[in-house]
Amino acid sequence: MASRKFKYQRREDSKAAEHCCVPLCAASSRFNSVLSFHTFPTDEGTRRTWIHNIRREKLNITSHTRVCSRHFIRHYLIEPSNPSGRRLLRKGAVPTLFTWNGFYVAEPGQKDVCSQVDENPVPVEGHHVEHDYCAVHDPPAADKALDQTEELRKEVERLRRQVEELSMSQRFSLGRFAASDDDIRFYTRFLTHSHLMAFWKLIEPASHNMIHVSRLRANTTMSEAGTAGSALGQPVQPIDEFFLFMVYLSLGLEQRDLAHRFNVHESTVSRIITTWANFLYTILGSVRIWMSEEAVKAHLPIEFQDYPDTQVVMDCTELRCQTRSSLLLQSDVFSGYTFHCTFKGFIGMAPHGAITFVSSLYADSVTDKELFEQSGIISLLKPGMAIMVDRDFLVDECVPCKVYRTAYLSRRERMSADEVQETQSTARLMVHVERLIDRVKQNKLFDTVIPLSITGSINELYTVACLLVNYQNGPLVKASLKD
């Protein structure tokens, strides 16, 4: 397309120059009174279309960012009713005429613009492109070229999505399994992908302030080994770091295995696990899980109608750990019940199945009574409450409330009929807390022997696994007295 050379005429009456932000456009209100300069629309959809069309995706838009009228077809321009008025744009107007698609439109009243001369034209972005304001494009050819441009844009977008889908199918990440609730359940213990994403929305805002553990040391180690993130693949996104941590809990995989799956260095896996264990321990631990008496009674299941004052059902659990080389240390964590080195803790459950108390882990040498006293739960109990425990949990003297317990013979030969009936009743109810503990131990990390390498963070990992149960699954005991 031929164009006539010209230079802009300086406007002496211009006080504050306005410039067009379109690439390769040198339009300025200082040199041209014919053009009008328009601010970006407030409508988000139209604004995104403007940004996309002018090819300035990272443009910082302010009240002074303008697009000149030469980039709009005449249909979009509303001429002023009087000479001193401003030219306006119709609602929904978008710029479509640019040097890269070969279109130039003569502005109304521009027939003499081509003869105006200025000795010092102002270049834009280091390159000056001469414009022929007198040239008028052929509408049919313009429409055809626009259609071709749109088709090419759609094809590029389709290919981009195809590449992303192919990359996603080959990369071990959460997005790969988003369509399969069975896989989500297997890898994370969350009931469905929707459950997982609902939980992610709760913690995602706080994750922006997460402090990564030993980041400097991890970076140094990777640099020395020559295996920085760029060599092993793209950095792991926060949601996939969370997914990695959940896979670690759920399947108990070796860190080397996780490194291969997520295409990162093994030290990065270790850092991610420790970071997320501390983060979730802090975030979930800040949420009050102990329920008031009124809340517990409001959700009391029918099965507990004979024990309506039950506040919490408690039971102990043990986690096996790797045998220490020191016989003295072995004696601290050796369990005579499992004949293995173990950690011991107990879980408190509201009658309807929600976890309301999680103790720290202790060496197995501690007695149930000592564990109960050191856990801090006694301060939460009140005289009007009752707790339900297993028959070996002898804490009657420690608590200010009633204790429901399965009866035991002690030195007697037989139990009374009432004791037998109560024992059977409480035993059926104690099954629920055993089922709850089983949910925690569905995380294979705790269903196997805990390696010594993670014993420093085992308390955080165990507590997080317990607290996650309240988010991962449906109700343990569904029916309540008020249903």
Query: Across residues 238-258, what is the average pLDDT?
Result: 95
Residue 376 and residue 270 share a domain: no
- Contact call for residues 352 and 381 (beta carbons, < 8 A): no
Question: What confidence score (pLDDT) does residue 227 get?
Answer: 37
469: left (phi > 0), else alpha (psi -120 to 50), else beta? alpha
Residue 241 and residue 382 share a domain: no
- Contact call for residues 390 and 297 (beta carbons, < 8 A): no
Residue 4 falls inside a structural domain:
no
Lowest-confidence segment of 224-233, 271-280, 411-420 by average pLDDT: 224-233
Residue 107 falls inside a structural domain:
yes
User: Could you tell me the pLDDT band of residue 86, with boundaries at 50, 70 and 90?
Assistant: confident
* Spatial distance between the Cα atoms of 42 and 26, rounded to a whole number of angstroms: 25
Question: What confidence score (pLDDT) does residue 82 get?
Answer: 83
* Spatial distance between the Cα atoms of 244 and 483, rounded to a whole number of angstroms: 39
Q: What is the reported pTM?
A: 0.60
Residue 216 falls inside a structural domain:
yes
* Spatial distance between the Cα atoms of 2 and 62, rounded to a whole number of angstroms: 35
User: What's the token pair of residue 444?
Assistant: 């294979």
Residue 467 and residue 419 share a domain: yes
Residue 96 and residue 126 share a domain: yes
* Spatial distance between the Cα atoms of 443 and 246, rounded to a whole number of angstroms: 9
Question: What confidence score (pLDDT) does residue 172 get?
Answer: 87
Residue 262 and residue 119 share a domain: no
Label the pairing between strands 362-363 and 402-405: unpaired
Query: Across residues 413-417, what is the average pLDDT?
Result: 65
Q: Which residue has the higher pLDDT, 217 or 422?
A: 422
Lowest-confidence segment of 7-16, 131-140, 177-186 by average pLDDT: 131-140
User: Could you tell me the pLDDT band of residue 10, with boundaries at 50, 70 and 90?
Assistant: very low
Query: Across residues 270-289, what is the average pLDDT?
Result: 94
Residue 30 falls inside a structural domain:
no
Residue 280 and residue 301 share a domain: no
Domain count of the fold of the chain: 3
List, in order, residues 6 or more apart from 414 with CB less than 8 Å away.
Answer: none
Domain end position, chosen among 85, 110, 137 = 137
233: left (phi > 0), else alpha (psi -120 to 50), else beta? left
Q: Is the confidence at residue 136, as pLDDT, over 80?
A: no
Domain end position, chosen among 269, 285, 301 = 285
- Contact call for residues 289 and 355 (beta carbons, < 8 A): yes
User: What's the token pair of residue 163?
Assistant: 């590449």
Residue 330 and residue 445 share a domain: yes
Residue 415 and residue 297 share a domain: yes
CATH number at residue 451: 3.30.420
Exposure letters 425-440 (e unless 16+ CB within 10 A, then b)? bbeebbebbeebbebb
Query: Across residues 379-399, what is the average pLDDT?
Result: 89
* Spatial distance between the Cα atoms of 347 and 356, rounded to a whole number of angstroms: 8
Residue 391 falls inside a structural domain:
yes
Q: Is the confidence at residue 469, as pLDDT, over 90?
A: yes
What's the Cα-to-Cα distance from 110 to each of 93, 134, 328, rounded to whole Å?
A: 22, 7, 96
Residue 119 falls inside a structural domain:
yes
Residue 181 and residue 116 share a domain: no
Residue range of the domain that includes 43: 37-137
Q: Which residue has the higher pLDDT, 330 or 305?
A: 305
User: Could you tell me the pLDDT band of residue 478, with boundaries at 50, 70 and 90?
Assistant: low
* Spatial distance between the Cα atoms of 119 and 138, rounded to a whole number of angstroms: 32
User: Could you tell me the pLDDT band of residue 482, with boundaries at 50, 70 and 90?
Assistant: low
Residue 149 falls inside a structural domain:
no
Q: Is the confidence at residue 198, as pLDDT, over 90?
A: yes
Mean pLDDT (the chain, rounded): 79
* Spatial distance between the Cα atoms of 71 and 96, rounded to a whole number of angstroms: 6
SS3 sequence of the chain: CCCCCCCCCCCCCCCCCCEECCCCCCCECCCCCCCCEEECCCCHHHHHHHHHHCCCCCCCCCCCCEEEHHHCCHHHEECCCCCCCCCEECCCCCCCCCHHHCCCCCCCCCCCHHHCCCCCCCCECCECCCCCCCCCCCHHHHHHHHHHHHHHHHHHHHHHHHHHHHHHHHCCCHHHHCCCHHHHHHHHCCCCHHHHHHHHHHHHHHHCCCCCCCHHHHHHHHHHHCCCHHHHCCCCCHHHHHHHHHHHHHHCCCHHHHHHHHCCCHHHHHHHHHHHHHHHHHHHHCCCCCCCHHHHHHCCEHHHCCCCCEEEEEEEEEEEECCCCCHHHHHHHEECCCCEEEEEEEEEECCCCCEEEECCCEECCCCHHHHHHHHCHHHHCCCCCEEEECCCCCCCCCCCCEEEECCCCCCCCCCCHHHHHHHHHHHHHHHHHHHHHHHHHCCHHHHCCECHHHHHHHHHHHHHHHHHHHHHCCCCCCCECCC
Residue 75 falls inside a structural domain:
yes
Residue 425 and residue 313 share a domain: yes
* Spatial distance between the Cα atoms of 297 and 92, rounded to a whole number of angstroms: 58
Question: What confidence score (pLDDT) does residue 251 get?
Answer: 94
Domain end position, chosen among 238, 264, 285 = 285
Residue 114 and residue 188 share a domain: no
Radius of gyration (C-alpha) of the chain in whole angstroms: 35
Question: What confidence score (pLDDT) does residue 228 get?
Answer: 38
User: Could you tell me the pLDDT band of residue 7, with boundaries at 50, 70 and 90?
Assistant: very low
Residue 203 and residue 62 share a domain: no
Lowest-confidence segment of 50-59, 168-177, 215-224, 311-320 by average pLDDT: 215-224
* Chain position carrying tokens 């039950």: 310
Q: Which residue has the higher pLDDT, 17 or 462?
A: 462
- Contact call for residues 267 and 227 (beta carbons, < 8 A): no
Nearest Cα residue to 290 out of 203, 348, 346, 351: 348
User: What's the token pair of residue 68?
Assistant: 């000149």
